[in-house]
Amino acid sequence: MNRPHERPPGRLEEPELVPIENHSMLSDQRSAALVTPHAQINWLCVPRIDSPAIFAALLGGPEAGHFSITPLPITPLDGGTDAEPVQTYLDATLILQTSWPTLSVTDYLDCSDGRPQQAAATTEVIRHIEGTGRARVVFAPRVDFGRVPTRIEPLHGGLEVVGAADPAILRSTGVDWSIEDHGAHQSAVAEIDLARGPVTLQLGCGAEPSTTASPPTEPQRRELTARFWSDWTQRLQLPAVEPEMVRRSALTLKALTYGPTGAISAAATTSLPEFIGGVRNWDYRYCWLRDAAMSADALLRLGSATEAEGLLDWLSGLIDDHGVDTGGLSPLYTVDGRSLPPEQTVEELAGYAGSRPVRVGNAACHQLQLDVFGPVVELIHNLATAREVISGKHWLLVEAFVEVVEQRWTEPDQGIWEIRSAPRHHTHSKVMCWQTVDRALQISNEFYSRDRPDWAALRDRIRDDVIAGAWNEEAGTFTTAYDGTDLDASVLAIGLCGLVEPDDPRLAATVAAVEESLRHNQAVYRYTHEDGLPGGEGGFNLATSWLIDAKILTGDLDDARSLFESYLSLAGPTGLIPEEVDPETGAGLGNHPQAYSHLGLINNACNLARTSRGPRSEAPRAARASPAIRSCPERSSPQPQSRRRPGPS
């Protein structure tokens, strides 16, 4: 295995290769598109974020499909088109504007007319071009990652993509197209003179919407889309620390939320590499229960409960369909709640910077991951606290999760990092089992006021087992698993979730060990031990976020603030952060934008903001939850319960 801090061979230096972090995202809470700084849409999956891509140049170069708009010289002697464009989101929205001296392109996925909640509807990509110059447009769709021959036929006022499972029509009134052959595929090319007025290109993918007497104009669509995003952000309660970066991170998490069901994707892409030229390329376009709960909890911290409620409703439906025991409940699902397709490779795509294979599906769906329950019950607890009432169906989830933890917490599993080798007794998984029961006890104490000694005894058994099995005297730290001395950053959870107190010397020793062993420059690796796959990987951004929170918890505020400043630099020009970073070059790695990276930024900012208002012990919210034994109820009625102070048992 390459040492993770050794930069593997790759082609990031190639001028045509757009750095991962420089991509911007468009979303209508059903699909997601990525746009380069030069206004090329090089990634779009339809009809859902986890569907096949119609543009996949991100993973295969121009021949894999793109939708490009570039300025042309006004005269043959005009060299003004060499100017670098300026790209920015318009205010607190997912409307993106790319501007050159002679023209600008405004891109968005139409969110008007309730589209984000409509499962079976058209995704409409709006590209509005205006200015004084001329532009060249290349429309090069490739159906199903380019695995299906893609033909283009002229229509009155536009083009139709032939070969797609669902209709795909580009409305482009007044544009004259030339259709070109490229092997099995076709592309359409046009030149536009903006002196004749602005041009709107409208790509509709999916069932054709019903026609109305007066369809909305582009300005109306843009206004309604802007209002969809900005109305939501105006309700957020932003911390005093980096409020604009927090707002953009919150918008990113909202954009990764699948509106029709409430599921939240881990990222918008598949197979962006964890190191350039390597095989660690995974499909993250699905909903991991763990990641989604943590994302919804970060938004809840900012005052938005909608995502938590939607996710938990979706999860309740999954339980009804699949059961709760890990034999029936997968760690991840498609965003519409189905089991994942078998993991496969797309041989037609060369991969980002030659990083192959390109994968679709994720075999982790078949793994045992016992840590998934802790973040969900934590979310239920925090939502109930915010609402001062607990839903009966949420209480049923809590009881079911505690039951499966009681049955299976002693088993080895693949853990949070989904290691594709023999299962182990992972410390993080055991800690999350403890968190499941601890937060269940807190909910019982705060909302039901009855004794539950069996849960209290289970919580204490798990804690004692973690302390005995995970603490390694030889290494002087809590370790990755019970059977070795190796270390991974997820052991920081032992303090962040409250299993050990902030002033426990074993926690301080573990934080120091993570920093010494896993931190390189301003990045933190997940781990450095062998995991059965060749090659290394970059620093994992969420691990850096955890170290920041651990430093806040243990009182090392100066270094926490310094590391947080470095964390902010991970964001690209429009504020999006991928999964990992090359510690030597600062280049982004992994899928993009990554929910983990953005929820980590939100939590760091909130926790740092809290330190300026309170004593040193004012640490991350989860860490302040008391692990002390409480009086807990027996099984209670699944009717909504208001907050009540504990009463006599």
pLDDT digits (tens, 9 = 90+) for 143-200: 999 999 999 999 999 999 998 888 999 999 999 999 999 999 999 999 999 999 999 9
Whether 144 and 52 have beta carbons less than 8 Å apart is answered as: yes
Average pLDDT of the segment spanning 19-43:
98
State the pTM of this model: 0.92
The answer, yes or no, to whether residue 378 has pLDDT greater than 80, is: yes
DSSP 439-450: HHHHHHHHHT--
Give the pLDDT band (50/70/90) at residue 325: low
Closest C-alpha among 376, 94, 107, 373 to residue 250:
94
What ranges do the domains of the chain cover? 20-207, 237-624
Predicted pLDDT of residue 510: 98
Work out the burial of residue 369: count CB atoms within 10 Å of its CB; fewer than 13 is exposed, 13-18 middle, 19 or more buried.
buried
> Which residues lie below 8 Å from residue 388, measured CB to CB, with a gap of 6+?
642, 643
Give the pLDDT band (50/70/90) at residue 556: very high
Closest C-alpha among 427, 366, 376 to residue 400:
376
| Tokens of residue 395, six digits | 């209480």
Q: Do domains 20-207 and 237-624 have the same CATH topology?
A: no
d(CA 631, CA 486) in angstroms, rounded, equals: 37
Peptide bond into 357 cis (omega under 30): yes
Q: For residue 582, count other CB atoms closer than 10 A to its CB.
A: 23
Predicted pLDDT of residue 521: 94
Peptide bond into 593 cis (omega under 30): yes
Average pLDDT of the segment spanning 306-316:
97
Whether 68 and 105 have beta carbons less than 8 Å apart is answered as: no
| Tokens of residue 299, six digits | 């938004």
Average pLDDT of the segment spanning 295-317:
97
Percent above pLDDT 90 for the chain: 83
Predicted pLDDT of residue 354: 96
Q: For 192, phi and psi rounded to 5 degrees?
A: -120, 130
d(CA 16, CA 90) in angstroms, rounded, equals: 26
SS3 613: coil
Average pLDDT of the segment spanning 279-303:
98
Handedness of CA 39, 45, 46, 52 (dihedral sign): positive
Peptide bond into 453 cis (omega under 30): no
Q: Which CATH architecture has domain 237-624?
A: Alpha/alpha barrel (1.50)
| Tokens of residue 172, six digits | 């482009």
Reported as a single tens digit per residue, the pLDDT across 343-355 is 999 999 999 999 9
Average pLDDT of the segment spanning 257-280:
97
Averaged confidence pLDDT in the chain:
90
Reported as a single tens digit per residue, the pLDDT across 100-123 is 999 999 999 999 999 999 987 889
Q: Which residues of 148-185 are buried (b: 16+ CB within 10 A; e: fewer)?
A: bebbbeeeeebbebbbbebebbbbbeebebeeeeeeeb
DSSP 249-281: HHHHHHHTB-TTT--B-SBS-B---SSTTSS--
d(CA 246, CA 238) in angstroms, rounded, equals: 7
Average pLDDT of the segment spanning 204-210:
73
The answer, yes or no, to whether residue 7 has pLDDT greater than 50, is: no
CA dihedral of residues 430, 436, 437, 441 (deg, nearest 10):
150
Whether 269 and 43 have beta carbons less than 8 Å apart is answered as: yes
Predicted pLDDT of residue 326: 53
CATH number attached to the domain at 20-207 = 2.70.98.10
Give the pLDDT band (50/70/90) at residue 1: very low
Average pLDDT of the segment spanning 91-102:
97
SS3 365: helix
Residue position matching structure tokens 């918890």: 553
The answer, yes or no, to whether residue 644 has pLDDT greater than 60, is: no
Give the pLDDT band (50/70/90) at residue 535: confident
Work out the burial of residue 246: count CB atoms within 10 Å of its CB; fewer than 13 is exposed, 13-18 middle, 19 or more buried.
buried
Whether 535 and 585 have beta carbons less than 8 Å apart is answered as: no
The answer, yes or no, to whether residue 421 has pLDDT greater than 90, is: no
d(CA 135, CA 192) in angstroms, rounded, equals: 5
Handedness of CA 353, 256, 439, 246 (dihedral sign): positive
Reported as a single tens digit per residue, the pLDDT across 584-619 is 999 999 999 999 999 999 999 999 999 975 333 333
